[in-house]
Structure 1
Amino acid sequence: MGRPAGWMTTLTGRPAMRSPGRPPIRRDVERAFWVKIAAGLTSEDAALACGVSGPVGSRWFRERGGMPLIDLAPSSGRYLSFAEREEIALLRAQDVGVREIARRLGRSPSTISRELRRNAATRGGRLDYRAGIAQWKAELMARRPKTAKLVDNDRLRAYVQNRLAGEIRRPDGTAAAGPATPEWTGRNKPRRADRRWATAWSPEQIAHRLPVDFPDDDSMRISHEAIYQALYVQSRGALRRELVACLRTGRALRVPRSRARQRAGGHVTPEVMISERPAEADDRAIPGHWEGDLIIGTDRSAIGTLVERTTRFTMLLHLPRMAGYGVEPRVKNGPALGGYGAEAMRDAIAAQITTLPAQLRRSLTWDRGKELAQHAQLKIDTGLAVYFADPHSPWQRGTNENTNGLLRQYFPKGTDLSRWTADDLQAVAAALNGRPRKTLSWKTPAESLDEHLRSLPRAGVATTG
């Protein structure tokens, strides 16, 4: 004989709930995952730190567009936590009474009684309290899903889509189609390729313009964060995801700010900032202080540049691609086969700078690129102290920036720099070092460096002549 209708409601005091099979991962674990993401960890590392697999973390990050959809603030303690539910399950298995459990947990007896009745497992027609099942049921009952505003409001959705991806027009009113672009594939914008021309308002511009265009219509209001969620989060579906191509960044996922900062300068510590560079480097009175950077070409090709601050003497670094480039698939966290990874840069700089005496190897100022992540080992190998410029401060390496501009006459942007040999680079460097400079009283950098080399006290130093 089957169970009577409504037996579960009578037993638990709540409507019947369909079992999901294996209970999903708890929300507090997911919350911890997003806290790790906000701290700058990758999705795989954040998942492993929270006790779930890397693929699960990658799926969470991808499906939510890099945006946490839950409150990251810790629980207020108003509701029972998973740890408390585990304690309840253990005490209940020991036949401890409801009032004693409540006393030990510092909760009301009615809270414990209601928890044991509502959130217990009901397999076999009887109540069996298990912490994992109870946590799943509590989280399920606490959900308050509601339809996104862009799904319900067709007029608002049309306005947002038009401001994001509307046509741009010429002065005569005709549409400017712009370049032909490939179909969106669900990835970030193509690198160094044409993008679709559109009005391309940012979500923040759209959100703040709505009260201006519709001052008396409260239904035409939405936050910029809601627009981003509609674009990034796969389950929302209010806006076509290909519209992310019209955002400034063109990214299909949000990148946490802390991760972006970490990626840009995780190897830079306060001890190697330009503020710690010796004061003698600033007035250019003493030679031996260098500035360096990369000039980048197509297909991940590059040339390294080193410029001495006092004499403006230039040395170019040949950075050939490593074996396997373009043949073997790229390996995450593997060697940079393009030729300007951290180890390749360390070796190339060491090979060039050690051709000079130690008196001309005082310091090197670089931008914050990770190609110089091996700066500590470079200092050990050569005695050359490395310092990094402040973010977005190219004037702190003005000599090098100016030299790179001169080099672009020989190595234009958008060209393959890997076709040039080391001898070719030496020829270009010699051409630059042979140009008379106004700042050197019309001496050439080669002549100026040669004078300093001849003035060194140590005998037998080779000159540049």
Structure 2
Amino acid sequence: MGVSSSTISRELKRNSIEEGYDPQVAQVFSDDRKRYAVKADKRDPETDTIIRETLALGWSPAAISARMDVECSGANRPSYTTIYRRISEDRLQGGLLHTRLPRYGKKRWQGGKRYRKADLAAIPNRVDISSRPDVVEQRSRLGDWEGDFVHAVNASLVTLVDRISRFTLAQRVIRKSKEAVADALISMLGKVHSALTVTLYNGGEFTDHDRVSKETGAATYFAKPYASWQRGTNENTNGRLRRLRPKKIDLTTLSNGDIQEGFSF
């Protein structure tokens, strides 16, 4: 039958009747056990308090769940999906925990279908992410970076995140020009030991990517338009940065130390 003999023995022992084994009766027994089984519940006042307090600090459910390893015993540590479920339950009961989520109320695109080849022609020698080596997707080595351009007032940031270590680099640029962005990428990649690939989004700021590849040796690839999930590590890092450094902040008033502090999660 393709299963262990102990599995068959356990099935016969649990679900047989006096007349022998009947699969239909066994299914009824199984359904009854599921229906009346005592469900495990990890909810307790301690974890509820931690969730409330850390949400007030701007933490995400994933970060809260990771912190539970320190605050609680392993048996009581709720996963991030459990934390989301508790937040949903609180909302149905009239609570406001959901308003403290870091990305609560984010506006989504409501304009229907978008042009899937947007900005592609504006980037010379663009290499699509579909041509990127499979090893990059496996996150098995250092040196595969994801890059982005973060807008702010009077200045912007060029950010890079290593896909496996999550090590993050950021450099301020005053001008939104391809030359300034390329210089920032070259400067940052020159500070690390391994720069094998860089995956970018299709903004005009990255049109000087050939010079970046030539001077750093890192092959550059571009995600598909409107597919930010293909650079998910970098997008998530930038989202966390926005909690401390919102878009309306004037970057020229911050020191380099202040900028780096924004990435000390």
For the aligned pair, the TM-score class normalised by the smaller chain equals 0.5 to 0.7
Equivalent residues in 2 for 1:420-459, closer than 5 Å = 420-429=254-263, 431-432=264-265
**Structure 1 regions of 5+ residues with no counterpart?**
1-247, 249-256, 322-338, 433-465
Name 1:157's counterpart in structure 2: none
Q: State the TM-score, normalizing by the size of structure 1.
A: 0.31
Distance 1:377 1:274, change over 3 A: same
2:231 maps to a residue whose letter is: R
Q: Deviations over 1:195-249 (max 9, x none)?
A: xxxxxxxxxxxxxxxxxxxxxxxxxxxxxxxxxxxxxxxxxxxxxxxxxxxxx8x
Report the secondary structure of 1:305's partner residue. Answer: strand
Match of 2:55 in 1: none
Distance in 1 between the 2:134 and 2:237 partners?
23
Q: Please point out which of 171, 187, 197 is paired with 1:351.
A: 187
Residue 127 of structure 2 corresponds to residue 272 of structure 1: yes
* Superposition pairs of residues 66-81 of structure 1, within 5 angstroms: none
Q: Distance in 1 between matches of 2:131 and 2:254?
A: 36
Deviation at 1:271, TM superposition (A): 5.5
Q: Is the 8 A contact 1:318 1:421 kept in 2?
A: no
Provide closer, same or farther for how the CA distance between residues 269 and 280 of structure 1 changes in structure 2, counting only shifts above 3 A.
farther
Q: CA deviation at 1:421?
A: 2.4
Residue type of the alignment partner of 2:129: I
Residue 342 (structure 1) aligns with: 178
SS across alignment from 2:240:
helix
Over residues 353-402 of structure 1, what are the superposed CA-to-partner deviations in whole Å (9 max), with x where a residue is unaligned? 11112xx2001111100101100011111111111100110100000110
Change (3 A) 1:351 1:388: same
* Cα distance in 2 between the residues matched to 1:288 and 1:424: 26
Q: 1:382 aligns with which of 191, 205, 216?
A: 216
Name the aligned partner's letter for residue 318 of structure 1.
Answer: R
Q: Which runs of 4+ in 1 moved over 4 A?
A: none
For residues 221-236 of structure 1, the aligned pairs below 5 Å read none
Cα RMSD between the aligned structures?
2.4
Tell me the matched-pair count.
153
Which residue in 1 is equivalent to 2:206?
A: 372
1:282 aligns with 2:137: yes
Pairs within 5 Å for 1:22-61:
none
SS at match of 2:198: strand
Name the amino acid aligned to 2:240: L
Asked if the contact 1:268/1:388 (under 8 Å) is kept, the reply is no
| Amino acid across the alignment from 1:302 | S
Structure 2 letter corresponding to 1:393: A
Shift of 1:317: 1.2
Give the conservation status (yes or no) of the 8 Å contact 1:302–1:418: no
Shift in CA distance, 270/349, structure 1 to aligned 2, threshold 3 Å: closer
For residues 265 and 417 of structure 1, do their structure 2 counterparts lie closer, same or farther at Cα, with a shift above 3 Å needed?
A: farther
Offset of residue 405 of structure 1: 0.8
1:307 maps to a residue whose letter is V
Q: Give the Cα separation in 1 of the matches to 2:128 and 2:221.
A: 5
Match for residue 391 of structure 1? 225
Alignment partner of 2:169 out of 315, 324, 346: 315
Match of 1:293?
148
Q: Paired residue for 1:11? A: none
- Higher strand proportion, which one? 2
Q: How many Å apart are 1:270 and its aligned residue? A: 7.1
Which whole-Å CA distance do the structure 1 matches of 2:225 and 2:198 have between them?
17
Higher relative contact order (CA 8 A, sep 6+): 2
Aligned-partner Cα distance in 1 for 2:261–2:249: 18
TM-score (norm 2): 0.53
Contact 1:265 1:370 in 2 (8 A): no
Name the SS for the 1:272 alignment partner: coil
Cα shift at 1:306? 0.6
Q: Determine if contact 2:117/2:225 at 8 Å carries over to the other structure.
A: no
Structure 2 match to 1:404: 238
Identify unmatched segments of 5+ residues in structure 2: 1-110
Task: Give me the whole-angstrom Cα distance separating, in 1, the residues matched to 2:211 and 2:167.
Answer: 25
